[in-house]
Homo-oligomer: A and B are copies of this chain.
Amino acid sequence: MIIQLDMQSELPIYTQLVNQIIEGIASGRLKPGEPLPSVRSLASDIGINLHTVNKAYTLLKQEGFILVHRQRGVVINPDSMPEITKAYMGKMRGELRPIVAEAISRGMSQEQLLQEMEQIYQEITQTDKEYD
């Protein structure tokens, strides 16, 4: 699992970590049951503090993306992924809304916008690569 951090980003480090791990799952690079580095080794590898990694793992655990066996380590949830709950849909719409509004203000058509979304979806799920 390759992690790319932007220290100049306005996004907190732990948020960037969460995002990249979720994208790893979405892309298939991280498969169910696959182990993740320990909080200490990952922190050491990318040069950040243990607590920052721990915060990201804790969030991912609360949502159900990963499982934590007390002394065995961290793994991608081997059984299931988080559901499409009403709470999640509300969160997602709340995030999309200002993005869509700005696009409209700038004159972007619905077709353009949907095409961008489709493009990103394809980029993430592109099947022409295998990760083993």
**Contact surface of A with B, Cβ cutoff 8 Å:** 19, 22-23, 25-27, 65, 81-84, 88-89, 92-93, 95-108, 110, 113-114, 116-118, 120-121, 124-125
Contact = CB atoms under 8 A, between A and B. Distances in A.
Copies of this protein, total: 2
B81 A96 contact: no
A101 to B, nearest CB: 4
A18 to B, nearest CB: 8
A63 B15 CA distance: 26
Contacts of A19: 97-98, 101
Nearest to A115: B114
A22 B106 CA distance: 10
A89 B125 CA distance: 21
Given A114-B114, A117-B113, A120-B96, A22 B101 contact: yes
Contacts of A25: 101, 105
A125 B105 contact: no
A97 B83 contact: no
A106 B83 contact: yes
Nearest to A19: B98
Contact of A103 (B92, B104, B106, B107): B92
